[in-house]
Amino acid sequence: MAASTSASRLPSTLALLLTLGCSGGAEEVAPAGAPIPALMFTAIANEVVAPAASPRSPDGLTEGLAAALALPAPSDAPAPYTLLHDSFRDRRPAVQLPRASRAGLATTVGQPLDGDAVWVAFDACLVSDQAEATEELSVGGVSHQVSGRWRTILQQAPDGPGALELERGSDGPANSALLLSSPRIVELDSAQPTVILITSDTHRADHVSTINAGSPVSTPHIDRLGSEGAVFTNCFSSINNTNPSHVTLLTGVHPRDTKIINNHTRLHHSAETLAERFREAGYQTYAALSAFHLFDDVSGLGQGFDRMSAPLRGAVDGRGTLARAGEWLHDASGSPLFLWVHLFDAHTPYELPDEQMQELLDGRPDPYRDDVDLGLAPRPLPSWLEKSELRDPEFVTALYAGEVRYLDGLLGDFLARPRVASASIAFTADHGEALGERGIWWDHFGLVDPTIHVPLVLRGPGVKPGSRSAAPVRQMDVGRTLLGMAGLDGAPFPGRDVRAALDEEPAPEPRFALSAQGISASVELEGWLLELYLRDVTGSDSSPDRKLGEVTLFDLASDPRCANDRLLDEFSRAQRMRAALIQWLDAARSTGMTYENQEVNPAVQAKLAELGYTGGLESIYRWWTPERRDAGWIANRWHLAFEGTGAPALLR
């Protein structure tokens, strides 16, 4: 749409376009009950929106300021800016408003917007090399102080077409940038939909008391959420590490096909995410994260989010993350909101706050005493455990339960917030944690029930309070389900709505998983779990040694901790499940969802095409290639047992 004549006469005008998403014809006022129209900043004069002049010196800004960590190249469209606040990074798409310039927030609607009820909001922040610098921004004649912290500016929308003027003076710091982000129309007196995704990192399903009556820890607040909605007691993740699992959760694509199996491979910008689907529907999209490696520069998951925050390094207590999310709830008043909250508390190194740690210590033997041993020898101690000087394995396991109890308490305060109390919510985990199962201690190595069986609790439309389902469901379908709960069934996104499992038991289907680093793969079907090792594992501080081709089989109904390998007793079943798993591995799709698979040298691409590899690098990347990994595979006893004579006796 073209800007209105009154706005375009301003020589340095930033216009706020109200886009109704019409297919053509006359512009109309959105009818009552329709989604709130989307707004965007656009440049009328080329020099107005120019995120080019960087306030950074070559050495960066003074430590402790809201420092710009990444100012992008010039662009007429909003570009992502990452600022540093109290060791937290905050990423938002924004434009720069030059010094000593006037701009406008103008609508292009030809009829009044009902100015008594409709307001405009946007975020503003001043990036400067001067400590505690502030600057005035005049909006509609009202002065607002802008500092090095993002603030939301709220202003009544103009009554009809025309410009709501912004003016930046010339008295502020010379070396500075005034950033404007997330312009939107808000309706303060109307309740707007809220959709919240909460992911608890490293959270076993059996450490939620509404899922497991014998849970070693009580989780009353998660339980209460379940009583207000539905509890799924049989949900499996697709992988056992953080970034790949969240990538799958937010794209609906299995790690087999994303090819993201570690915590440092970045999702390519061409991928389509859950946040993008919500933003296209007019939602504000925020992500408050507790671990640095989920931030966009590592994970690529920033796309589609209007805001994303994460620690500069390491991970943080969930209290700060939930506090930030709570502040953002207020900022989003009057707007539909999709919020992702990530909590890292249940992950090693299990560092409880002092008060909770003392509660755990009271009445217990000294966990640092010398007459006990962790029992990991000859494997080396993980560095976090060696640093802790703990020696009592029972206490380390109790620490894990203590972390779950602590985060449940934090969630209690968050879930009680008024907007959260009425929100549609999904609570789940990226993966679980082994507490001694299969010789794996305080880690999530391997694909056993404790590492991939995760909690899933839903509350919202289409979910009857107090309902439960023991049907097998997949964590990777949560995104599709949240869209359905928000009434966005037509939004393109992979997966199936797990709410269907509340109405009828689905037909048995295999659930596949791939492990971190592609070490192993698994399939679960009708309560049986088979794991196949895709390469050798030796010298790990997380697991006993494993051999290429090794297979384990567990009956989860009678053995949820995977203590009794039933491979030899159920060899025919294992043969069928192994064959199905290998067939699934070989059916991997080319998706181009990593930068490594996108940025292929054209000359190399041409040579690959000559060989018939038209899918680029992905087409020659196969998960199950034992003959490449082991020259002696033909004589490997696992190969002979399954593909040679088929004799299980070879494995005794």
Task: Give DSSP secondary structure letters for 319-380.
Answer: HHHHHHHHHHHHHTTTS-EEEEEEE-TTSTT----HHHHHHHHTTS--TT-TT-----TTSP
| Nearest CA among 338, 281, 280 for reference residue 308 | 338
DSSP 25: S
Residue 588: pLDDT over 50: yes
Residue 451: pLDDT over 70: yes
Residue 602: pLDDT over 80: no
Q: Are 472 and 508 spatial neighbours (Cβ–Cβ below 8 Å)? A: yes
| Nearest CA among 452, 474, 615 for reference residue 521 | 452
Q: Where are the alpha helices (DSSP H) in 424-477?
A: 449-452
Give tens-digit pLDDT for 323-351.
999 999 999 998 999 999 999 999 999 99
Bridge partners for 504 per DSSP: none
Three-state secondary structure along 592-608? CCEHHHHCCCHHHHHHH
At 626, the amino acid letter reads: P
Q: Which CATH code, of 2.60.40, 2.60.120, 3.30.420, 1.10.3470, is assigned to 5-187?
A: 2.60.120
Residue 313: pLDDT over 90: no
Look at residue 73 in the predicted model and tell me its pLDDT. Answer: 39
What are the φ/ψ torsions at residue 123 (nearest 5 degrees)?
-105, 145
Tokens of 417: 């917030």
CA distance 460 to 228: 9
**pLDDT-based confidence at 621, cuts 50/70/90?**
low
Look at residue 14 in the predicted model and tell me its pLDDT. Answer: 34
Q: Is beta strand 467-469 parallel, antiparallel or unpaired with respect to 230-236?
A: parallel
Which 3 state secondary structure label does DSSP give 96?
strand
Look at residue 56 in the predicted model and tell me its pLDDT. Answer: 34
Residue 395: pLDDT over 80: yes
| Nearest CA among 192, 14, 214, 180 for reference residue 92 | 180
Which has more pLDDT, 294 or 19?
294
Residue 136: pLDDT over 70: yes
Q: Which CATH code, of 3.30.365.10, 3.30.830.10, 3.30.70.20, 3.40.720.10, is assigned to 194-357+393-509?
A: 3.40.720.10
Look at residue 534 in the predicted model and tell me its pLDDT. Answer: 95
CA distances from 120 to 108, 124, 166, 188, 191 (A): 14, 13, 13, 10, 16
Average pLDDT, the chain: 82
Look at residue 19 in the predicted model and tell me its pLDDT. Answer: 29
Which 3 state secondary structure label does DSSP give 184?
strand
CA distance 204 to 183: 40
Bridge partners for 186 per DSSP: 119
Bridge partners for 197 per DSSP: 340, 426
| Nearest CA among 200, 202, 199, 198 for reference residue 516 | 202
Q: Which fold has domain 519-588+623-651?
A: Arylsulfatase, C-terminal domain (3.30.1120)
**pLDDT-based confidence at 376, cuts 50/70/90?**
confident
DSSP 24: S
CA distance 210 to 227: 9
Give tens-digit pLDDT for 407-442.
999 999 999 999 999 999 999 999 999 998 988 899
Give tens-digit pLDDT for 292-307.
999 998 899 999 999 9
Tokens of 496: 């199936």
CA distance 608 to 614: 7
DSSP 267: B
Hey, where are the domains in the chain?
A: 5-187, 194-357+393-509, 519-588+623-651
**pLDDT-based confidence at 360, cuts 50/70/90?**
very high
Give tens-digit pLDDT for 54-77.
333 333 333 322 333 333 433 456
CA distances from 215 to 208, 242, 323, 360 (A): 6, 23, 28, 17
Task: Give DSSP secondary structure letters for 135-181.
Answer: EEEEETTEEEEE-SS-EEEEEEPPSSSEEEEEEE-S-S-SSEEEEEE
Look at residue 162 in the predicted model and tell me its pLDDT. Answer: 55
Q: End-to-end CA distance of the chain: give it in Å, rounded.
A: 74
| Nearest CA among 109, 117, 122, 114 for reference residue 162 | 109
With residue 219 as reference, give the H or E element that holds it. none
Cα 649 vs. chain centroid, distance in angstroms? 45
Bridge partners for 513 per DSSP: 522
Average pLDDT value for residue range 548-560: 96
What are the φ/ψ torsions at residue 356 (nearest 5 degrees)?
-70, -35
What are the φ/ψ torsions at residue 377 (nearest 5 degrees)?
-60, 145
DSSP 322: H
Rg from Cα positions in the chain: 27
Which 3 state secondary structure label does DSSP give 622?
coil
Residue 281: pLDDT over 70: yes
| Nearest CA among 313, 323, 301, 346 for reference residue 201 | 346
At 230, the amino acid letter reads: A
**pLDDT-based confidence at 30, cuts 50/70/90?**
very low
Q: Is beta strand 151-156 parallel, antiparallel or unpaired with respect to 118-128?
A: antiparallel
Look at residue 158 in the predicted model and tell me its pLDDT. Answer: 64
Cα 605 vs. chain centroid, distance in angstroms? 32
| Nearest CA among 424, 638, 427 for reference residue 549 | 638
Q: Quick check: pTM over 0.75?
A: yes
Q: Is beta strand 118-128 parallel, antiparallel or unpaired with respect to 176-187?
A: antiparallel
CA distance 183 to 164: 13
With residue 575 as reference, give the H or E element that holds it. helix 571-586
Look at residue 183 in the predicted model and tell me its pLDDT. Answer: 81
